[in-house]
Amino acid sequence: MYYKRIITDDVYYVGESDRRLERFENMFELPNGVAYNSYLIVDEKTALSDGIDETVSERYYENIRFALDGRDLDYLIVNHVEPDHCSSINNVLREYPQAVMVITQKGLQFMEQFYNLDYRDRVMIVKEGDRLDLGKHQLEFIMAPNVHWPEVMVTYDHTDKILFSADAFGAFGAIEGHLFADQVNFERDWLAEARRYYINIVGRQGASVMRLFKKLEGKDINLIAPLHGLVFRTPDMISMILEKYTKWATYEPEEQGVVLVAASMYGDSQNMNDILAAMLADRGVENIRVYDVSKTPVSAIIADLFRFSNAVFTCLTYNTLLYPGMDALMRELVMLNYSNRRISYLENQSWGGRALDIAQEIFSKSKNLEVVGEPFKIKSSVAPEQMDDLLKLADEIAASV
Ligand SMILES: [Fe+2]
Ligand SMILES: [Fe+2]
């Protein structure tokens, strides 16, 4: 766009949004698209922080040219080598032959693995605490391994107190005019997609996120500029997102509440979930979500499982084993370190099978999942004489929320 998007006096937003991509990482639905953020510092020396995905790069190159206004590019800072940020980098290096790529040693290794090119004459390898003087802006590089990938670093601008935070603090969702979190109703319109992004993409790496936060303690941060989603520039917004991230990264629930994840072929297991949900409502549980694992995108279910304190999983029998959608969901939860939650089981089988055993086996690899109540089991459909057992489970769950 021939229009400058100003972050601070001489720092410009040059990123782009993709509203065509169906799935991020070919897995995660993007109902509102996704933004690939990139920032240009125009100082005595010019520096571009990160690239974007090749799918929307034509506009991106135009944005850079326009913001540079005839200047050359001196540095290309690569905080993260995942192709959603780096597939444009080779073209940028071609267009600006004097630009030097500022990157970690591991980042260089990954660039070579992905693109089979020789960058030896074009790199400045940086490590923990190294600095880059752009004239007015003094940048410091802080290693952030595994916030998302092992090569990741973040860049701190001592001058404007900006944290270029790589994937941390990102969100799904295209930019809709407003670039800054304080310009929108973030909690209403963006938080769920920030949560879904973090939990599903970076969720496994909570310990690494907390290690980065420890390193950032004592640094004044006036502005957080992530690689996806909105920019945070007010103390309120910065402390809000830091607070959320601390919960997510330490696997603590944000709120008390019960997520019932149903799996149902003909509606009988769904009925069991609906009855339990009604009982929980009547017992004063405020936050209740009922999802069908075959209907709601798994990434959204997972995000809410991390949001709330309790969950109920339906172990539906399928070919004598656990219903595939539920099996996959549970394994993904273990992969993402789902822990510190209270869970309960429902089971439906008509003539045998190991659905509940398999579910329990899967979750035995997860840490600190407290099972509430006895698994409630039905054969094909809920029978009226079972209501007392279901009421007992509802009592126990409600008492634990
Ligand atoms: Fe990433
Ligand atoms: Fe990313």
Q: What is the average per-residue pLDDT within 38-56?
A: 97
pLDDT digits (tens, 9 = 90+) for 81-97: 999 999 999 999 999 99
Ligand (nearest to CA of 85): 2
CATH at 337: 3.40.50.360
Confidence of residue 67 (pLDDT cuts 50, 70, 90): very high
Which pTM value belongs to this model? 0.97
Q: What is the pLDDT of residue 113?
A: 97
Q: Select from 189, 223, 249 the last residue of a domain.
A: 249
Q: How far is the CA of 37 from the centre of ligand 2 (A)?
A: 9
Q: Select from 218, 249, 280 the last residue of a domain.
A: 249
Would you say residue 30 has pLDDT above 90?
yes
Q: What is the average per-residue pLDDT within 36-52?
A: 98
Number of H helices, E strands in the chain: 13, 23
Rounded alpha-carbon distances, angstroms, from residue 226 to 49, 196, 207, 311, 317 = 10, 16, 19, 31, 43
Ligand (nearest to CA of 82): 1
Rounded alpha-carbon distances, angstroms, from residue 323 to 95, 130, 326, 344, 372 = 52, 51, 6, 17, 22
Would you say residue 139 has pLDDT above 90?
yes
Q: How far is the CA of 83 from the centre of ligand 1 (A)?
A: 8
Residue 387 CA to its chain's centroid (Å):
40
Q: What is the pLDDT of residue 161?
A: 98
Q: What is the average per-residue pLDDT within 108-126?
A: 96
170 and 68 part of one domain: yes
Confidence of residue 396 (pLDDT cuts 50, 70, 90): very high
Any residues with CB less than 8 A from the CB of 214 and at least 6 apart, and which? Answer: none
Ligand (nearest to CA of 226): 2
Q: What is the pLDDT of residue 340?
A: 97
CB atoms within 10 A of CB 302: 22
Q: How far is the CA of 314 from the centre of ligand 2 (A)?
A: 33
Contact between residue 252 and residue 236 where contact means Cβ atoms under 8 Å apart: no
Mean pLDDT of the chain: 98
Measured N-to-C along each axis, helices 268-282 and 387-400 cross at an angle, to the nearest 10 degrees, of 50
Q: What is the pLDDT of residue 1?
A: 86
Q: What is the pLDDT of residue 194?
A: 98
Would you say residue 232 has pLDDT above 90?
yes
Number of domains in the chain: 2
Q: How far apart are CA 384 and CA 243, in angstroms?
A: 46
Would you say residue 157 has pLDDT above 90?
yes
Q: How far is the CA of 145 from the centre of ligand 2 (A)?
A: 14
CATH at 91: 3.60.15.10
Residue 77: give the domain boundaries: 5-249
DSSP 3-state of 322: strand
Q: How far is the CA of 98 from the centre of ligand 2 (A)?
A: 26
Q: What is the pLDDT of residue 395?
A: 98
Confidence of residue 45 (pLDDT cuts 50, 70, 90): very high
160 and 46 part of one domain: yes
195 and 317 part of one domain: no
203 and 159 part of one domain: yes
Q: Select from 190, 215, 249 the last residue of a domain.
A: 249
Q: How far is the CA of 55 from the centre of ligand 2 (A)?
A: 14
Q: What is the pLDDT of residue 114?
A: 97
For residue 327, which phi and psi values (nearest 5 degrees)?
A: -55, -50
Confidence of residue 359 (pLDDT cuts 50, 70, 90): very high
Ligand (nearest to CA of 148): 1
DSSP 3-state of 270: helix
Residue whose C-alpha is closest to residue 364's, from 332, 335, 344, 334: 334
Q: How far is the CA of 80 from the centre of ligand 2 (A)?
A: 8
| Percent of the chain whose predicted confidence (pLDDT) is above 70 | 100
277 and 369 part of one domain: yes
Q: What is the average per-residue pLDDT within 105-131?
A: 97
Q: What is the average per-residue pLDDT within 199-210?
A: 98
Residue whose C-alpha is closest to residue 296's, from 321, 265, 329: 329
Q: How far is the CA of 122 from the centre of ligand 1 (A)?
A: 23
Would you say residue 307 has pLDDT above 90?
yes
Q: What is the pLDDT of residue 210?
A: 98
243 and 264 part of one domain: no
Q: How far is the CA of 150 from the centre of ligand 1 (A)?
A: 10
180 and 272 part of one domain: no
108 and 90 part of one domain: yes
Q: How far is the CA of 391 from the centre of ligand 1 (A)?
A: 45
Confidence of residue 242 (pLDDT cuts 50, 70, 90): very high
Any residues with CB less than 8 A from the CB of 283 and at least 6 apart, and which? Answer: 394, 395, 398
207 and 303 part of one domain: no
204 and 278 part of one domain: no
pLDDT digits (tens, 9 = 90+) for 369-394: 999 999 999 999 999 999 999 999 99
pLDDT digits (tens, 9 = 90+) for 318-346: 999 999 999 999 999 999 999 999 999 99
Q: What is the average per-residue pLDDT within 249-268?
A: 98
Q: How far is the CA of 169 from the centre of ligand 1 (A)?
A: 11
Q: How far is the CA of 127 from the centre of ligand 1 (A)?
A: 19
Confidence of residue 187 (pLDDT cuts 50, 70, 90): very high
Q: How far is the CA of 166 from the centre of ligand 1 (A)?
A: 8
135 and 239 part of one domain: yes
225 and 87 part of one domain: yes
